[in-house]
A and B are shown apart, each in its own frame.
Chain A
Amino acid sequence: MKKLLAALAVTTFLFAPATLTTSHADEIKQGGSMIVTYKDDVSTLDPAIGYDWQNWSMIKSLFNGLMDYKPGTTELVPDLAESMDIAADGLTYVFKLHKGVKFHNGREMTADDVKYSIERTVNPKTQSPGAGFFGMIAGFEEMTASKTESLSGIEVVDPHTIKFTLSRPDATFLHVLAINFSFVVPKEEVEKWGTDFGKHPVGTGAYTMDEWTLGQRVVFKRNADYYRKGLPKMDQITFEVGQEPLVALLRLQRGEVDILGDGIPPAKFLEVKNNPEYAKMIVEGGQLHTGYVTMNVKMKPFDNKKVRQAVNMAINKDRVVRIINGRAVPANQPLPPAMPGYDKSYKGYAYDPAKAKALLAEAGFADGFETELYAMNTDPNPRIAQAIQQDLAAIGIKAEIKSLAQSTVIDAGGKEDQAPMIWSGGMAWIADFPDPSNFYGPILGCGGAVSGGWNWAWYCNKDLDGQATAADGMTDPAKAAERIDKWRSIFVNIMDEAPWAPVFNEQRFTMHAERLGGPDAIFVDPVHIPVHYDTVYAKDAQ
């Protein structure tokens, strides 16, 4: 009985905020258009393939998944799912879908489409970067090995009911259903366009893709048949590409564009921030991001814990933050403050070069040693690397800087014996979804410490791995707080071993034209970058 009540409570709790959003949305009129600038071409709008921070939010506006996040927050809410029922053992999920949801081509969406979309992502032929997220669904192993063409763990009960069976309880499953890779696509359009579906996306989302002129612009138009009435607010969004950030800023200041997709160029940051004229145009928010220095525990002398702790104490984080004009806050642990599991009371390693030198001497390196620090070669990363280099030199560590292209550094990190230290800037981990589990597995877990992996510290603690799996197995909503607590302790334990030296958490500064309206939170939405396209409205259309 208790469990049934709990399940009901969970379902209703998740159900309620959706209605709240809809009623608030009704007060604001739809209309108007906006222009967003980007430097790079849009690569693809295929939800199974798109995985860069530029197309991530664009895809969210063209497609829907079973779950989503409340705008401006990291709170999970149902999207295409009208209601859900989770079994007590956490292995079975049954979702009832909204009726009358139409694809942009007019056809109604059904549970078959949901199954088709997820299977498409997992299918090796699609070459989806997100296939790995669905490992908890029964039948995943067989499908990845190309032994079957469908996932046994997804069952279509009726056109509006779908049932998932998992091979293991996984507390992140609802997050996985909110991620782009699970978004629903229509089979007939995918088959019609094949590999070019990414250039001709058809989904159920708030916007439809109206025009794509390669190298110049992509235009979104409001989906008049969107199943959520009152959304989106804008009639049209134009994404202008090929815009150098400095030039984009000039245009914004003249009122020609509305949002800087690439953010405020670092060179102009102070000038713009200190100018009272632009105060209303800038919104500051946190990000699910941490910038850190990884130390390869498999390469001497970083196999010695004391050396790694010394490095942690040697870096003057306040100075680094100053060098990037205050666009970040110093960090002392792997998780960013906005992430559940962040430990506010954790002190970490304070800046103390004298103590760092003493530790080094204890480890047998009283005279220091020579090593290499890899960094990405685009501003401001070489600068940050040089600042760190000077801090390390102060305690006797002579680090030679290797400033290289992003993919070259990533490649070096994925090799066991190549990069002793890497400054993660520009390639730092940004959470795929707002759950601490995502900040562990690929970058600090044993699973990531493989050739080509992202665990550049090559850190593998089997005990912590076990604790992580156990934490993810706690699917009972009543145990949610306990689970987060478990994660908190996992990360504190990691800092004891110090495979990383966390340096700062980047803040986000979105600059937008004054004519755009909406609560501040949607302009620094942690999940939708740069802004939540569906809920931004035009003041001049009211």
Chain B
Amino acid sequence: MPGLGIYVLKRFGQAVLILLGITLITYILLFLLPADPARQIAGRSATAQTVENIREQLGLNLPFYEQYLRYLASLLQGDLGRSYIQKSEVTELILSRLPATLLLMAGAIFCELLIGLPAGMLAAVKRGKAADNAVMILSFIGVSAPQFVVGILLLYVFAVLLGWFPIGGYGTFWHLVLPALTLGLLGGGWYSRMMRSSMLDVLRQDYIRTARAKGARQARVLLVHALRNAILPIIAMIGLDIGIFMSGVVVVESVFGWPGIGQLAWQAIQRVDIPIIMGVTLVAACFIVIGNLLADIIAPFVDPRIELR
């Protein structure tokens, strides 16, 4: 494909610039927050002297740009700083929890595709009829329902009352099912709508008419031709999922006691633990940017109409 290498390079370069921009904006925002890190570390019984000492040691008396550059420098060395409240290194905290979140996301993606794709297909085929409306309404509910409530509801019914799954926690496949399902219902709602649109697009195309005219049976036409073409743009969008998941992950991990970075972010936000908030923001932004990048790179292969700019 002509110019692919340059295209990828260009996109990659933009991604790096975007990440840099995010560090700056995040740093500015957190700088403006009316919380005093020295006070937080010093605690409630500290003398003014102790607070001042800590402020010196953290370099909080330096001008803004100097603090920012220091932060960038340590960032390049992979050091995200030390939490004010947890006293551990942020990098260590995030790395220890990342695998759990990645696992949850993988499970959630699986669930949402499992729910969303067939539902979208059904809605497209039965367009305008009762099944279509039912699917659309259910998917809107899936997208709108508060995650906390859905999570606790599933936990209560399937883990407590029926006892089919463990009550929260981490470790085996059975622990993964309910949290992945909770997120999957949210994503499933999105995907069923996307799939419906995509299928409708494809079903309108000439080559489908041709296939039908040739006499192939309805089902075969659908499954082989339409599906193949309808799914590709959807797959390209999985990268964008990560952005949608970010807020859901925080809630779901809290409810199910899933030791991922969502839980970490939640605690940090409650306590205004700035190093962790910054670290998690950057990691989340990284994932979103990578997701977008992947989507942008896969898309031209999948949809020949898109030109490489």
> C-beta contact mask, B17-54 vs A, less than 8 Å → 1, else 0?
00000000000000000111001111111111111011
With an 8 A cutoff between CB atoms, is A518 at the interface? no
* Chain B residue nearest to A405 in the complex (CB): B272
Given contacts A244-B254, A408-B34, contact A44 B87 (CB under 8 A): yes
A131 pairs with B270, CB closer than 8 A: no
Q: Which residues of chain A have C-beta atoms less than 8 A from B85's C-beta? A: 43
> A406 to B257, alpha carbons, bound, how many Å?
23
Interface of A is mostly: loop
With an 8 A cutoff between CB atoms, is A40 at the interface? yes
Given contacts A132-B46, A216-B170, contact A406 B39 (CB under 8 A): no
Q: Which residues of chain A have C-beta atoms less than 8 A from B256's C-beta? A: 244, 247
B167 pairs with A256, CB closer than 8 A: yes
Interface of B is mostly: helix
Interface residues on B, range: 35 or more
With an 8 A cutoff between CB atoms, is B93 at the interface? yes
> A199 to B50, alpha carbons, bound, how many Å?
23
Chain B nearest CB from A296 CB (Å) reads 17
A214 pairs with B272, CB closer than 8 A: no
Given contacts A40-B267, A41-B267, A132-B47, contact A407 B257 (CB under 8 A): no
> C-beta contact mask, B80-94 vs A, less than 8 Å → 1, else 0?
001101111000110
Contact of A43 among B51, B86, B155, B156 (CB under 8 A): B86
B264 pairs with A129, CB closer than 8 A: no
B44 pairs with A215, CB closer than 8 A: no
Chain A nearest CB from B61 CB (Å) reads 15
Q: Which residues of chain A have C-beta atoms less than 8 A from B82's C-beta? A: 195
Contact of B47 among A41, A131, A244 (CB under 8 A): A131
With an 8 A cutoff between CB atoms, is A411 at the interface? yes
> A307 to B40, alpha carbons, bound, how many Å?
33
Q: Which residues of chain B have C-beta atoms less than 8 A from A128's C-beta? A: 50
Q: Which residues of chain A have C-beta atoms less than 8 A from B47's C-beta? A: 131-132, 135, 144
A452 pairs with B36, CB closer than 8 A: yes
* Chain A residue nearest to B171 in the complex (CB): A216
Q: Which residues of chain B have C-beta atoms less than 8 A from A215's C-beta? A: 93, 96-97, 100, 259, 263-264
Interface residues on A, range: 35 or more
* Chain A residue nearest to B42 in the complex (CB): A129
Chain A nearest CB from B157 CB (Å) reads 12
> A163 to B148, alpha carbons, bound, how many Å?
57
Q: Which residues of chain B have C-beta atoms less than 8 A from A432's C-beta? A: 45
* Chain B residue nearest to A254 in the complex (CB): B167
B57 pairs with A127, CB closer than 8 A: yes
Q: Which residues of chain A have C-beta atoms less than 8 A from B159's C-beta? A: 250
Chain B nearest CB from A315 CB (Å) reads 25
* Chain B residue nearest to A43 in the complex (CB): B86
With an 8 A cutoff between CB atoms, is B191 at the interface? no
A216 pairs with B45, CB closer than 8 A: no
Given contacts A411-B36, A452-B36, contact A244 B43 (CB under 8 A): no
With an 8 A cutoff between CB atoms, is B248 at the interface? no
With an 8 A cutoff between CB atoms, is B228 at the interface? no
Chain A nearest CB from B106 CB (Å) reads 18
With an 8 A cutoff between CB atoms, is A124 at the interface? yes
A251 pairs with B167, CB closer than 8 A: yes
With an 8 A cutoff between CB atoms, is A15 at the interface? no
With an 8 A cutoff between CB atoms, is A95 at the interface? no
A44 pairs with B168, CB closer than 8 A: no
> A411 to B51, alpha carbons, bound, how many Å?
14
Given contacts A144-B47, A144-B50, A247-B155, contact A129 B167 (CB under 8 A): no
Given contacts A215-B264, A454-B44, contact A131 B50 (CB under 8 A): yes
With an 8 A cutoff between CB atoms, is B75 at the interface? no
Q: List 17 A-B contacts (CB under 8 A).
A: A41-B86, A43-B85, A51-B43, A127-B57, A132-B45, A132-B47, A135-B47, A214-B88, A214-B92, A215-B97, A215-B264, A244-B257, A251-B167, A406-B272, A407-B271, A408-B35, A411-B34
Q: A196-B88, A244-B254 are in contact. List 8 more A-B contacts (CB 8 A).
A: A43-B86, A130-B43, A131-B47, A214-B88, A214-B93, A215-B263, A216-B259, A411-B34
Residues of A within 8 A of B (CB): 40-41, 43-44, 46, 49, 51, 124-125, 127-133, 135, 144-146, 195-196, 198-199, 214-216, 241-244, 246-247, 250-251, 254, 256, 378, 405-408, 410-412, 414, 432, 442, 450, 452, 454
Residues of B within 8 A of A (CB): 34-36, 39-51, 53-54, 57, 82-83, 85-88, 92-93, 96-97, 100, 152, 155-156, 159-160, 167-168, 170, 253-259, 263-264, 267, 269-272
